[in-house]
Amino acid sequence: MKKKKILLIQPTPYDSNGDLIKKKKLYFVGLALPLLAALTPKDYEVELCYETIEDVPFDTDADLIGISSMGHAVIRTIDIAKKFKELGKTVILGGYMVSLMPEEAQKYCDSVIIGDAEEVWGEMLDDFSKGKTKKIYKKKLTHLKPPLPRYELLLNKSIGNFLPVQAGRGCPKACSFCSVYCLYRGQYLKREIKDVLRDINKIKELGFKRFLLLDDNIFSDRDYSIKLCTEIKKLKMKWMTQCSIDIAKDTELLKILAESGCLILSFGLESISKESLISMNKAWANPSKYSEQIKIIRRFGIDISTEMVVGADGDTLESIKETAKFISNNNIAVPRFYILTPIPGTKYFDEMKEQNRIYNENIYCYNGSAAVHIPKNMTSEELTEAYWDLYNEVFKIKSIVKRTILTKQIFTKPIDCLFYFFVNIYYRVQIKKGIVPNII
């Protein structure tokens, strides 16, 4: 008997010219598709498509099409969904953008999965087999015990030298602009450490020596983090993750992290303006201490990546220029920037709507690279221009060399420094094309 088939797709965004953003290699591979594949019963054949590195097979014989939508690729998501609907396929949409705007997403598909899929994926497939799919599937996750992701489905693809793992989901913080907060409302679910290790060991068995821990703030539970790092150390693997820069206050934990093989930490610093942080419900962060915190973290041999936003109420044209100096002065290895964007469904969107500060009502323009709200201290046009000026300044050749090659780390970790250098060069090429370097 022929197996039923499902095609799972992660779309790529369009660039400013309307062309698909394509790359030879995808380094940051999402976990959603391998996890959905693992949740799918054995009587289905599952095919994964990462459109950044491969073409969507519109001639597929798959019975069911599942598309995971990220914010920057939302327009492409809709186009793919429309095409498959025209071809008579059943289309399921999920992902955080779909979860924040389910009514809008329903216009383009048969079913929408809101939030986490673990509790509803099997139900949806059962309904599909009976020809009775519902418009919406939604069930709050109360515990986190996913199956082993089907990493083997990634091996024939052009990906980097690490794979993703997740230890927890959600975040205890409540930043007003954050989609994670909107979906989880401060909830943070942790997996059993033995299950996390199961996934890491599988990655190691497949020949990978590095992994990316996808958690938004794994170190919010100190005891759990120490136990996890102690076990990871035994595996002799290198790894990366993101967390709050407040980890600099805990030198004991930093030591354990470094000894476990942690190479780089990514921090959502957001802004060097305290007023801006307060306006984003991130008053707990103290930008006056950022430089010292970065120095403390580096003492343990851990490299730094940052994500920052511009356009909050404390930002000025001058403070955006100062952000470039901050990146240079602190030799941030891999910096990324976004324009603060009021994504529908977030508290920040509601605030901007109430204050009549939405500049562009077309939600399909909300990609983080052009201002869609009215800033407090500049015009929307000035903000967009300042944003791209910031990127161009930070990714000048002189700045790249200073931040990646002319550092103390070049003597202790020359291969990593060269890797950061080439990542920066690649980002520079993307920026010159008007492409925000948020997928590599």
160 domain-assigned: no
Classify burial at 376, counting beta carbons within 10 Å of its beta carbon; exposed 0-12, middle 13-18, buried 19 or more: middle
163 domain-assigned: no
Verify that 120 and 180 share a domain, yes or no. no
pLDDT band at 440 (very low <50, low <70, confident <90, very high): very low
Pure H helices in 87-120: 96-100, 102-105
156 domain-assigned: no
Which residue range is the domain that position 75 belongs to?
Answer: 4-138
For the segment 124-146, the average pLDDT, to the nearest whole number, is: 92
148 domain-assigned: no
pLDDT per position as a tens digit, 350-388: 899 999 999 998 877 777 788 999 999 999 999 999 999
Contact between residue 189 and residue 121 where contact means Cβ atoms under 8 Å apart:
no
Verify that 373 and 229 share a domain, yes or no. yes
Verify that 134 and 245 share a domain, yes or no. no
In angstroms, the Cα distances linking 303 to 104, 146, 334 are: 40, 30, 9
pLDDT at residue 185, rounded to an integer: 57
Domain finish residue from 138, 158, 188 = 138
Verify that 187 and 51 share a domain, yes or no. no
169 domain-assigned: no
Verify that 188 and 232 share a domain, yes or no. yes
pLDDT band at 309 (very low <50, low <70, confident <90, very high): very high
Distance CA 126, CA 139 (A): 16
Distance CA 127, CA 121 (A): 10
How many residues are there in the chain?
440
Verify that 243 and 130 share a domain, yes or no. no
Verify that 19 and 65 share a domain, yes or no. yes
391 domain-assigned: yes
pLDDT at 269 over 50: yes
Distance CA 236, CA 137 (A): 41
Residue 411: count other Cβ atoms within 10 Å of its Cβ.
Answer: 8
Verify that 21 and 104 share a domain, yes or no. yes
pLDDT at residue 142, rounded to an integer: 84
Verify that 410 and 348 share a domain, yes or no. yes
Helix axes 193-205, 222-235, angle to 10 degrees: 30
Enumerate residues 6+ apart whose C-beta is below 8 A from 220.
171, 172, 188, 243, 244
154 domain-assigned: no
Using a pLDDT cut of 70, give the percent of the chain over it.
95
Verify that 19 and 86 share a domain, yes or no. yes
Verify that 134 and 197 share a domain, yes or no. no
The CATH number for 178's domain is 3.80.30.20
pLDDT at 84 over 80: yes
412 domain-assigned: yes
State residue 306 phi and psi, 5-degree precision. -135, 155
Using a pLDDT cut of 90, give the percent of the chain over it.
71
The CATH number for 113's domain is 3.40.50.2300
For the segment 124-133, the average pLDDT, to the nearest whole number, is: 94
Domain finish residue from 84, 113, 138 = 138
* Domain total in the chain: 2
For the segment 45-64, the average pLDDT, to the nearest whole number, is: 96
For the segment 240-248, the average pLDDT, to the nearest whole number, is: 92
Verify that 243 and 378 share a domain, yes or no. yes
pLDDT at 177 over 60: no
